[in-house]
């Protein structure tokens, strides 16, 4: 994700933090300062935020390890102000698998809350509870706050609305009876109705609910479109979308040659060859960066992407949808019997989906 910085690895998975997470820390410091808290109290507040930071990582690891059990790898985990995001290589398709993977995150929070409860004495009534929680985070209420937040995170994530875990749990349950794309539509609509409720309540109470509502509406729409696209690709292979006409440039040519072709053709991504063999790809952004930083005479070999992605022509499009979709600025090479027969990029795949979508609507209209 753009704007993210790598912190390291956890269980072999890259851990990133988005720059906006720092805004949360600054906001906490500002609120504590405005409340008249001293340095010690502010330090306890920051320590608490960092503990939640660890909780979010563990939550996402729960998803990652559950997915790993089904042979699904996790690309990375990114921490955002609103939570974490574990990017799986692909989403589990079987309802029972998605159910377990989706449940794994909230179960981590419930486990942490249960574990913390052994070290915390919960006040007997609401008045005592509010008294203990007042005055900000301190050594006396740190664990109690930690317990409450983990319970809140579990409950929040179990709300049956995309992109929360509850939305995926609801879809998985519906998918036992309906096809996946239908289950997604139903789950998305339920989530969006809840989101409208959040927005309405937010106008009269907590404005943060408005943000949550908008977030849910957008997430549900994206999930619906994504699942619908995969459904339209069902039964089709790379052979159906392979581009047999593509532009090649020799790796030893200067960047200015790529600029000439960029301006003189429809191509935005080029296949780079050396001795007639593919050695890399070069897209428009890489051309501009190379021109800006190294000049127009720098060899293409110094600016190209050397990580080639190969696809078998008989591979099902639904199986590689995530791969192609997330390689938006790259050109993938299509192979048949160990011979290069064409290329594929995200734009071409999306055009194929659009055509199928229009044809499907036309069939219904007729």
Predicted confidence at residue 76, as pLDDT, reads 83
76 is in an annotated binding site: no
Predicted confidence at residue 99, as pLDDT, reads 92
- Name the pairing type of β-strands 83-88 and 248-250: unpaired
Predicted confidence at residue 112, as pLDDT, reads 92
Average pLDDT over every residue of 321-330: 71
pLDDT of 107 over the 90 cut: yes
C-alpha of 161 from chain center: 16
Strand segments (E) across 114-266: 248-250
Average pLDDT over every residue of 89-108: 88
- Name the pairing type of β-strands 13-18 and 74-80: parallel
Q: How far apart are CA 170 and CA 187, in angstroms?
A: 6
140 is in an annotated binding site: no
pLDDT in tens, 121-142: 776 666 666 665 666 666 677 7
Q: How far is CA 106 from CA 164, 183, 186, 332, in A?
A: 10, 22, 22, 37
* Domains of the chain, residue spans: 4-232, 238-365
Answer with the residue of higher pLDDT: 189 or 22. Answer: 189
Predicted confidence at residue 303, as pLDDT, reads 87
Average pLDDT over every residue of 180-194: 86
Among all residues, which ones are annotated catalytic?
Answer: 60
Task: Determine the CATH number of domain 238-365.
Answer: 3.10.580.10
Q: Which residue's structure tokens are 């309540």?
A: 201
Evaluated on CA atoms 99, 212, 77, 147, the torsion sign reads negative
3-state SS, residue 18: strand
When pLDDT is cut at 50, 70 and 90, the band that residue 235 belongs to is confident
Q: How far apart are CA 241 and CA 232, in angstroms?
A: 13
59 is in an annotated binding site: yes
Predicted confidence at residue 244, as pLDDT, reads 86
What is the chain's mean pLDDT, rounded? 82
Give me the sheet containing 339-344, strands edge to edge.
310-312, 332-336, 339-344
pLDDT in tens, 58-70: 888 898 889 888 8
H/E stretch holding 261:
helix 255-264
When pLDDT is cut at 50, 70 and 90, the band that residue 110 belongs to is very high
Q: Are 89 and 322 in contact (CB under 8 A)?
A: yes
Average pLDDT over every residue of 103-116: 91
Q: How far apart are CA 292 and CA 33, in angstroms?
A: 44
């Amino acid at each position: 994700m753009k704007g993210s910085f790598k912190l390291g690895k956890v269980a072999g998975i890259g851990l990133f933090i988005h720059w906006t997470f720092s805004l949360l820390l600054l906001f906490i410091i500002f609120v504590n300062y405005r409340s008249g808290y001293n340095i010690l109290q502010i330090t306890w507040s920051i320590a608490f935020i960092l503990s939640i930071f660890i909780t979010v990582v563990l939550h996402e690891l729960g998803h990652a390890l559950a997915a790993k059990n089904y042979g699904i790898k996790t690309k990375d985990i990114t921490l955002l102000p609103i939570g974490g995001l574990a990017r799986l290589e692909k989403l589990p398709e079987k309802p029972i698998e998605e159910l377990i993977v989706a449940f794994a995150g909230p179960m981590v929070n419930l486990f942490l809350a249960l574990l913390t409860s052994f070290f915390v004495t919960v006040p007997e009534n609401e008045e005592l509870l509010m008294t203990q929680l007042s005055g900000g985070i301190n050594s006396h209420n740190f664990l109690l706050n930690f317990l409450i937040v983990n319970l809140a995170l579990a409950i929040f994530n179990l709300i049956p609305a995309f992109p929360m875990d509850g939305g995926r749990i609801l879809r998985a349950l519906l998918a036992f009876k309906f096809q996946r794309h239908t289950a997604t539509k139903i789950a998305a609509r339920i989530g969006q109705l809840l989101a409208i409720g959040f927005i309405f309540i937010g106008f009269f109470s907590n404005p943060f609910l408005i943000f949550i509502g908008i977030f849910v509406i957008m997430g549900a729409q994206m999930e619906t479109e994504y699942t619908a696209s995969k459904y339209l690709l069902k039964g089709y292979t790379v052979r159906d979308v392979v581009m047999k006409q593509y532009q090649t440039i020799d790796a030893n040519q200067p960047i200015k040659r790529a600029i000439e072709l960029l301006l003189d053709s429809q191509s935005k991504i080029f296949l780079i060859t050396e001795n007639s063999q593919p050695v890399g790809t070069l897209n428009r952004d890489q051309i501009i960066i190379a021109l800006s930083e190294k000049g127009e005479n720098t060899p293409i070999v110094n600016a190209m992407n050397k990580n080639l992605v190969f696809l078998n022509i008989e591979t099902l499009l639904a199986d590689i949808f995530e791969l192609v979709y997330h390689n938006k600025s790259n050109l993938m090479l299509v192979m048949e019997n160990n011979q290069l027969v064409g290329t594929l990029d995200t734009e071409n795949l999306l055009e194929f989906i659009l055509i199928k979508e229009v044809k499907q609507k036309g069939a219904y209209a007729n």
